Amino acid sequence: MRIPILKLHDYLLISVQVELDDQTALKFQEDVLNKIHEVGSRGVVIDLTSVEMIDSFIAKVLGDVVDMSNLMGAKVVLTGIQPAVAITLIDMGIVLDEVPTALDLEQGLDKLQSELEG
């Protein structure tokens, strides 16, 4: 299973709409980095509105995508994290430190724009 990555001007837009198994998550990580490299994106929005569960493995993969993209010179914003997912992550003691987040796709794009221009 592959997660589609859409290009919009300088940005990549990704909406995760599948149940994330480990392989899909890892392939996704690689796909995002390759796509950034291929099209020269400056920013990435990963929308998690449809994701009902983030466990420690998926949290690590997402955190790593943010760090790896930063290394390449692209900024990543995670958007749409559900209340139940946020509560569970904090219960677990998983703090996605220094990971930029926004309420939804629209605000995520705004955030990227202001960070990249500011």
- According to the binding rule CB under 8 A, does residue 1 interact with another protein? no
- According to the binding rule CB under 8 A, does residue 53 interact with another protein? yes
| Candidate ranges 7-15, 16-24, 34-42, 100-108; the one touching another protein (CB under 8 A) | 16-24
Burial (CB count <10 Å: 0-12, 13-18, 19+), residue 90: exposed
Element holding 34 (H helix, E strand)? helix 22-39
Give the chain's largest Cα–Cα span.
38
In the set 4, 6, 17, 19, which binds another protein (CB under 8 A)? 19
Residues 74-93 binding another protein (CB under 8 A) are 82-85, 87-88, 91-93
Round to whole Å and give the CA distance between 70 and 16.
Answer: 20
Closest to another protein by CB, 93 vs 118, is 93
- According to the binding rule CB under 8 A, does residue 59 interact with another protein? yes
**Cβ neighbours around 9 below 10 Å, total:** 8
Question: Interface with another protein by CB under 8 A: which residues?
Answer: 19, 21-23, 52-57, 59-60, 82-85, 87-88, 91-94
